[in-house]
């Protein structure tokens, strides 16, 4: 048991509301190795998002957005690490300064292009997610809310081409 887990058990906390998947993400990526590490490396890759039919009314008005956030569970992450060596670096980094799936709650996020919605199925592009991944939530990307000018990327020095070409390996399995 990690010190994080021990400390969490010691504290008397209000129970968190359980998170139940609202659907699943379908993609061409069947294995965790050799996947794009971010949507930038998956440009043009088609995928589908199947939302539970009972939740379909929640998709109303989403079709007007060009991009959406997919929030999902890294369901194949078998462990938690607070320090990792990220794909675009050789130095150990705190997990919260990375996009590693080995975070305590194993939650991932990707911005994808929304092509169309048919019933409870969303056709998307630029998908970088493992096939069958449980979908936790969808949020619209809103330029007026989400675009950040003059942002910095901490330790990450790779250029767009390097990010687009980088593929996953077995370090996070």
CA 74 – CA 72 distance, rounded (Å): 7
Question: What's the pLDDT score for residue 159?
Answer: 66
| CATH code for the domain of 99 | 2.40.30.70
- CB-hemisphere CA count at 13 Å for 171? 18
Quote the CA–CA distance of 16 and 110 in Å, as a whole number: 24
pLDDT of residue 172: 58
The per-residue pLDDT for 86 is 78
Q: Is there a domain that residue 30 lies in?
A: yes
User: Does residue 162 sit within a domain?
Assistant: no
**Domain ranges, residue 24:** 19-115+134-141
- Structural domain count, the chain: 1
Please report, for residues 1, 72, 114, 144, 156, the alpha-carbon distance to residue 122 in angstroms, rounded to integers and kept in the order given. Answer: 40, 15, 7, 23, 32
Q: What is the pLDDT of residue 149?
A: 80
160 in a domain, yes or no? no
Residue 120 CA to residue 131 CA, distance in Å, equals: 17
161 part of a folded domain: no
pLDDT, tens digit, for every residue of 114-166?
999 999 999 999 999 999 999 999 999 998 888 878 777 666 666 667 656 66
Domain assignment present for 98: yes
What is the chain's mean pLDDT, rounded? Answer: 84
Flag whether 173 is in a domain: no
Q: With respect to residue 43, please indicate whether it lies within any of the assigned structural domains.
A: yes
37 versus 63: the higher-pLDDT residue is: 63
């Amino acid at each position: 048991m990690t010190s994080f887990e021990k400390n969490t058990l010691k504290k008397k906390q209000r129970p968190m509301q359980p998170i139940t998947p609202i659907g699943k993400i379908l993609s061409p990526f069947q294995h965790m190795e050799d996947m794009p590490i971010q949507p930038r490396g998956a440009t043009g890759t088609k995928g589908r998002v199947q939302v539970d039919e009972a939740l379909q009314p929640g998709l109303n008005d989403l079709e007007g957005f060009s991009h959406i956030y997919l929030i999902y569970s890294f369901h194949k992450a078998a462990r938690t690490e607070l320090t990792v060596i990220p794909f675009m670096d050789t130095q150990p980094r705190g997990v919260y300064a990375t996009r590693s799936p080995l975070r305590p709650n194993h939650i991932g996020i990707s911005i994808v292009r929304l092509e169309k919605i048919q019933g409870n199925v969303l056709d998307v592009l630029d998908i970088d997610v493992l096939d069958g991944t449980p979908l936790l939530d969808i949020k619209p990307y809103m330029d007026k809310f989400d675009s950040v000018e003059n942002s910095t990327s901490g330790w990450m020095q790779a250029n767009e081409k390097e990010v687009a070409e980088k593929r996953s390996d077995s370090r996070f399995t």
